[in-house]
């Protein structure tokens, strides 16, 4: 499939929808319209779940989708962390840890990809756990704004602390994986 025609593939349209939602989600949070923000966040999550299913179902896995989907995911989560920090819903140190981890991984992946050193950069176990905890934390923060006094404050605090632990831990795991793969002998060396 040619590059420009990949934009018309159904899974990529769902991913583009997720990117399109982000500014409106930010506006709703900044304006304090948390019900609409929650609905948009759920719609973004639904588009994320569906794009992979649709890609498999319609056999429309594309190179564009391979790169665009994780970019959309990271952009959505990172933007929400920044926005939540700006309005006082997320501690600054958590957002700094999340951004530091993501920026470090992005820089390493870009360098390894550009140099042709390492092309396979799959999520690690701690990376997947970190993403799940981030999504849960953002969901709970929005949920608390919709239903004030909901008995989930302890859960939110636990999730925030978990992010603060998992973000640097997953960054260290990525670094370990990259170092181990780069140090492994190539088939020609064995």
pLDDT of residue 93: 96
* 130/9: higher pLDDT: 130
Cβ-contact 110, 180 below 8 angstroms: no
What integer is the mean pLDDT of 177-187?
A: 73
Q: Assess whether 43 and 103 both reside in one domain.
A: no
Whether residue 4 has pLDDT greater than 70: no
Percentage of the chain lying above the pLDDT 90 cut: 46
Whether residue 103 has pLDDT greater than 70: yes
Residue 189 in any domain: the answer is no
What is the rounded CA–CA span in Å between residue 156 and residue 178?
32
The C-alpha torsion from 93 through 98 and 101 to 107, rounded to 10°, is -120
Cβ-contact 14, 47 below 8 angstroms: yes
Q: Assess whether 108 and 72 both reside in one domain.
A: no
What is the rounded CA–CA span in Å between residue 118 and residue 93?
31
How does pLDDT run across 149-163, given as a tens digit for each residue?
768 888 999 999 999
Question: Nearest Cα to 142, choosing from 25, 16, 6, 2?
Answer: 25
Question: What's the mean pLDDT when you consider all of the chain?
Answer: 84
Would the pTM count as exceeding 0.85? no
Q: Assess whether 1 and 46 both reside in one domain.
A: yes
Total number of domains in the chain = 2
Residue 81 in any domain: the answer is no
pLDDT of residue 44: 94
Of 30, 54, 76, the residue at which a domain comes to its end is: 76
Which residue do the tokens 């793969």 mark?
Answer: 181
Of 41, 76, 111, the residue at which a domain comes to its end is: 76
How does pLDDT run across 48-100, given as a tens digit for each residue?
888 777 666 766 666 666 677 888 888 999 999 999 999 999 999 999 999 99
Cα three-residue angle 114-120-123, rounded to 5 degrees: 115
Give the H or E element holding residue 156.
helix 153-183
Q: Residue 18 is part of which domain span?
A: 1-76
């Amino acid at each position: 499939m040619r590059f420009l025609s990949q934009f018309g593939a159904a899974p990529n349209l769902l991913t583009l929808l997720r990117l399109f939602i982000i500014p409106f989600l930010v506006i709703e949070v900044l304006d304090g319209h948390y019900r609409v923000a929650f609905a948009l966040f759920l719609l973004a999550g639904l588009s994320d779940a569906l794009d992979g299913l649709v890609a498999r179902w319609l056999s429309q896995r594309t190179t564009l989708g391979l790169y665009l989907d994780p970019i959309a995911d990271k952009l959505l989560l990172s933007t929400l962390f920044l926005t939540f920090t700006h309005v006082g819903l997320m501690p600054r140190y958590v957002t700094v840890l999340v951004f530091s981890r993501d920026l470090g991984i992005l820089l390493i992946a870009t360098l390894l990809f550009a140099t042709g050193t390492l092309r396979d950069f799959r999520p690690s176990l701690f990376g997947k756990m970190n993403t799940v905890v981030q999504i849960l934390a953002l969901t709970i923060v929005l949920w608390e704004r919709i239903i004030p006094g909901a008995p989930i404050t302890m859960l939110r605090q636990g999730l925030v602390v978990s992010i603060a632990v998992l973000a640097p831990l997953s960054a260290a795991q990525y670094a370990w994986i990259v170092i181990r793969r780069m140090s492994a002998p190539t088939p020609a060396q064995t």
